[in-house]
């Protein structure tokens, strides 16, 4: 997401006139062989369309530079798709070192933990994550459970998924600076308040040996947060995500993985495009471009002999509107994959003395 909102937008609590609704949700600047034969064309088309998109972006969901490793957050249909059980933690510091004009701190930061596992006997998968996104005086926390059913399609797998959970928004009124200090709706509001709302999402995801792609829509309930004020208009908009990637064997030991992510809240649209090269399934490096916002350097390595533990890092360099931000952002990702154990097949031992023939 290209712009996660000017910090002044949520360090001020404003409205145009007394009778107008108050708005203060911080903006984020944010198949068969047919699938296999079309995957390269689809990825190229998505890239070309993305390059033609406008720069107007303001989605409310948090952003991750390592989105290609975090598909569960984007799409509930990703649950169990990889047929491996994974635990994952991500921490992102946006505009590292930012200091607000009036108050200390204020830089956005996001943390997330997730669990993803297949349910092989039911041809399905289960996923769970908790994400916390802090933007100055506002903190958004969501806890989501997802389930997906998998269909074999040609040489790949088609997955349909749903998600349900809770979305919590908390406000620290002490950190807001009202344009009109005498506003009766704000005069007596102090301290921290929070509201919880139900949240739903759904998606479809296709994967094969070389290609993956998915579409999802989150926040279907479009929850409203008013904190007891009838005049307050603070909706959580629906978000749509379209993602695709391809694995290309550059050499026997080097795999090149281009990927693209489109995201929209049906009002604004943005995209990210990236390429990551992996050597010997242990070391990776790549570049990513976020529309109208930043260029990111990506790096990762497996820390154990069986590649079960992986550490990833993203360094973002801001290329737009730098005067209102710090020039860099940092993101850490830690993934643990349970080692694969092939099923034990019991052999039948025949003893001649028990045979009757």
Per-residue pLDDT tens for 128-139?
Answer: 999 999 988 889
Better pLDDT: 49 or 118: 118
Band the pLDDT of 234: cuts 50, 70, 90. Answer: confident
Summarize the confidence of residues 150-175 as an average pLDDT: 93
Band the pLDDT of 345: cuts 50, 70, 90. Answer: low
* pLDDT beyond 80 at 19: no
Cα(222)–Cα(198) distance, integer angstroms = 9
Regarding beta strands 124-135 and 138-153, do their DSSP bridges make them parallel or antiparallel, or are they unpaired? antiparallel
Query: What are the tens digits of pLDDT across the range 249-289?
Result: 999 999 999 999 999 998 889 999 999 999 999 999 999 99
CB 315 within 8 A of CB 296: yes
Summarize the confidence of residues 110-124 as an average pLDDT: 96
The three-state secondary structure class of 11 is helix
Token couple for 271: 């995209």
Of 131-135, 140-144, 226-230, the range with the lowest mean pLDDT is 226-230
The CA radius of gyration of the chain, in Å to the nearest whole number, is 23
Residue 204: which of 248, 247, 153, 165 has the closest Cα?
Answer: 153
The three-state secondary structure class of 342 is coil
* pLDDT beyond 70 at 51: no
Per-residue confidence (pLDDT) for residue 339, from 0 to 100: 86
Residue entry with tokens 């344009």: 179
Better pLDDT: 224 or 86: 86
Band the pLDDT of 28: cuts 50, 70, 90. Answer: very low
Beta-sheet strands, E only, within 136-253: 138-153, 156-172, 177-178, 192-207, 211-218, 239-246, 248-249
Per-residue confidence (pLDDT) for residue 137, from 0 to 100: 84
Per-residue confidence (pLDDT) for residue 46, from 0 to 100: 43
Query: What is the residue extent of each domain of the chain?
Result: 7-354
Band the pLDDT of 179: cuts 50, 70, 90. Answer: confident
Q: Provide the residue count of the chain.
A: 357
CB 192 within 8 A of CB 170: yes
* pLDDT beyond 70 at 10: no
Summary mean pLDDT of the chain: 81
Q: What is the pTM of this model?
A: 0.79
Per-residue confidence (pLDDT) for residue 343, from 0 to 100: 61
Which spans in the chain are helix H? Answer: 7-11, 33-51, 71-74
Token couple for 37: 């034969």
Summarize the confidence of residues 331-352 as an average pLDDT: 76
Provide the percentage of residues in the chain whose pLDDT is more than 90. 55
* pLDDT beyond 90 at 141: yes
Q: Which CATH architecture has domain 7-354?
A: Beta Barrel (2.40)
Better pLDDT: 179 or 18: 179
Per-residue confidence (pLDDT) for residue 351, from 0 to 100: 57
Token couple for 67: 């989105």
Per-residue confidence (pLDDT) for residue 103, from 0 to 100: 67
Better pLDDT: 60 or 198: 198
Query: What are the tens digits of pLDDT across the range 328-339?
Result: 999 999 999 998
């Amino acid at each position: 997401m290209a712009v996660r909102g000017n910090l002044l937008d949520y360090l001020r609590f404003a409205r145009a006139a007394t009778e107008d609704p108050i708005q203060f949700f911080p903006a984020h600047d944010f198949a068969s062989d047919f699938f296999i034969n079309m995957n390269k064309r689809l990825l190229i088309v998505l890239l070309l369309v993305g390059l033609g998109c406008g720069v107007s972006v303001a989605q409310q969901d948090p952003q991750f530079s390592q989105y290609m490793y975090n598909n569960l957050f984007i799409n509930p249909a990703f649950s169990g798709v990889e047929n491996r059980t994974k635990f994952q933690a991500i921490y992102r510091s946006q505009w590292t070192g930012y200091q607000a004009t009036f108050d200390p701190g204020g830089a956005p930061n996001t943390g997330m933990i997730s669990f993803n596992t297949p349910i092989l006997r039911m041809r399905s998968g289960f996923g769970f994550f908790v994400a916390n996104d802090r933007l100055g005086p506002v903190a958004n926390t969501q806890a989501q459970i997802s389930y997906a059913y998998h269909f074999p399609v040609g040489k790949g797998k088609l997955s349909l998924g749903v998600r349900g959970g809770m979305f919590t928004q908390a406000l620290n009124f002490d950190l807001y600076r009202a344009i009109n200090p005498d506003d009766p709706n704000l005069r007596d509001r102090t301290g921290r308040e929070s509201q919880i709302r139900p949240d739903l999402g759904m998606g479809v995801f296709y994967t094969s040996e070389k290609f993956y792609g998915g579409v999802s829509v989150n926040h279907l309930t479009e929850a409203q947060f008013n904190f007891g004020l009838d005049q307050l208009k603070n909706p959580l908009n629906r978000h749509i995500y379209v993602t695709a990637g391809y694995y290309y064997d550059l050499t026997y030991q080097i795999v090149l993985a281009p990927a693209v992510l489109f995201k929209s809240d049906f009002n604004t649209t943005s995209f990210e495009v990236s390429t990551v090269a992996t050597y010997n399934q242990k070391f990776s490096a790549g570049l990513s471009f976020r529309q109208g916002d930043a260029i990111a350097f990506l790096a990762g390595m497996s820390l154990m002999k069986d590649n079960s533990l992986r550490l990833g890092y993203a360094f973002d360099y801001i290329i737009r509107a730098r005067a209102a931000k710090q020039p860099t952002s940092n993101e850490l990702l830690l993934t643990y994959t349970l080692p694969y154990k092939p099923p034990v097949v019991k052999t039948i031992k025949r003893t001649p003395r028990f045979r009757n023939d």
